[in-house]
Amino acid sequence: MLADHQRLTGLLLAAPALLGLLVFVAIPFLLALTLAFTNLRLGSPLPVEFVGFDQFRRIFSDPAFLRALVNNTVFALLVVPLQTALALALALLLQQRLKGRVLFRTLFFMPVVFPLSLIAVIWILIYAPGPNGMMNHFLTTISFGAWLPRDFLHDPYLALPAIMLTSIWQGTGFQMLILLAGLQTIPDELYEAARIDGAGRMATFLHVTLPQLRNTLIFVVLVTTILAFRLFDQVQIMTHGGPRNATTTVMFEAVQAAFGRQQVAIGAAMSVVLFVVVLVITLLQQHVARHEREIS
């Protein structure tokens, strides 16, 4: 009797959330898979028809989209290791029980609570051209005058690195906090054992800290890599994809197509590519994490 009653209650309690996920995640997802194979354009007089892989052929021969894929990949390849290394270094510094560590942790984490759009706007001014610009002045000072002022966000070679630096500055605190939590789960006995064995700091780091932190590191790398492929806000605000597609990204191209040019089908095809990339990264991470577990 009670079991029957519970049977319905469970479904009823979960129903609102399940309905939400169905209508606003599952259906749009299936819709993306469907629309990508049509020629749908908002406001177009042409009848909507099935066009097979045409849209995919189109986007993969579109130089801007290919450039976007390259940019996202370069972004991931540079930002992920740099940001992870920096976050790990800060986490290790905070791991020592120094006075004031809570204050430092707060300061490093502060950029994370700032909306990305606001951060993008602040950094536009930091990258202001001319010797008076903050970044230009900083680089000139630390290079003893060797740095000549540049217009970062309009420079085809510097615009993407400039966005990367902003992203690292914003995202490091988040990673640092997760790594710090990971560090704190390492049992003291392991460090004690390493000390008794006469292991130095470097040896302890390589043979105790890193292996113990492996799963946390894999997770943090996964999240940052996926974020690299979702990159949009900074690009939209700081460079609008330019100069000459130097900073365009998959998401920026998708929004341009679907929203700017009303080409919903092309935007959907780009979304599908984005999802496949995210899926591959996730499966890869799970594979690596499982593999590591089997070894240990």
Partner 1 sequence: MPHNIVLRLTSYAALVVAALLFVAPLLFMFAGSLKPDDQVLLEAGSWRAFLPDTIAWQNYLDVFARVRFGRYLMNSLFITSMIVAAGLIVNSLAGYAFARLQWTGRDILFAGVLTIMIVPLEAIAVPLFYQVTLFGWRDTYIVQILPFLANAFSIYLFYTFFIGLPRELEEAARIDGASVLRTFVSVIVPNSKPVFATVAILTFLMQWGAFLWPLMVTSGEAVRPLPLAVSTFHSLPPLQWGDIFAFGVMMVSPVLIVFLLFQRWFVRGVVATGIKG
Query: Segment 57-116, which members bind partner 1 (CB under 8 A)?
Result: 89-90, 93-94, 96, 98, 104-116
What the block records as the tokens of 162 is 């400039």
Residue 295 as a binder of partner 1 (CB under 8 A): the answer is no
**Identity of the amino acid at 57:** R
- Whichever of 28 and 81 has its CB closer to partner 1, that residue is 28
Judged by CB under 8 A, does residue 21 bind partner 1?
yes
Place of tokens 């900083």: 138
- Name which of 296, 295, 292, 294 is nearest 284 in CA terms: 292
Q: Which of 64, 74, 178, 183 binds partner 1 (CB under 8 A)?
A: 178
Q: Least distance from C-beta 294 to partner 1, angstroms?
A: 17
Minimum CB distance to partner 1 smaller for 6 or for 143: 6
Q: Tell the smallest beta-carbon distance from residue 243 to partner 1 (Å).
A: 17
Is 152 near partner 1 (CB under 8 A)?
A: no
In this complex, which beta carbon is closest to partner 1, that of residue 245 or of residue 271?
271
Choice between 94 and 208, CB closer to partner 1: 94
Tell me, by CB under 8 A, how many residues bind partner 1. Answer: 101
Regarding 169 and contact with partner 1 (CB under 8 A), the answer is yes
Least distance from C-beta 193 to partner 1, angstroms?
21
First CA to last CA distance, the chain: 48
- Residue 173 or residue 246: which is nearer to partner 1 going by CB? 173
Q: Among residue numbers 181 through 240, which ones bind partner 1 (CB under 8 A)? A: 181-182, 215-216, 218-220, 222-223, 226, 230, 232-233, 236-237
Tell me the closest approach of the beta carbon of residue 285 to partner 1, in angstroms. Answer: 8
- Per CB under 8 A, contacts with partner 1 among 243-282 are 251, 254-255, 258-259, 264, 267-268, 270-272, 274-275, 278-279, 282
- For residues 79 and 225, what is the distance between their CA atoms, to the nearest angstrom? 8
Q: How long is the chain?
A: 296
Work out the angle at residue 295's Cα, subtended by the Cα atoms of residues 289 and 296, and round it to the nearest 5 degrees. 90
Q: Under the criterion CB under 8 A, does residue 1 sit at the interface with partner 1?
A: no
Taking the complex as a whole, the smallest distance from the CB of residue 189 to partner 1 amounts, in Å, to: 22
List alpha helices for 210-263, DSSP H: 210-230, 233-234, 250-255
Question: Of the candidates 12, 43, 234, which has an alpha carbon nearest to the alpha carbon of residue 122?
Answer: 234
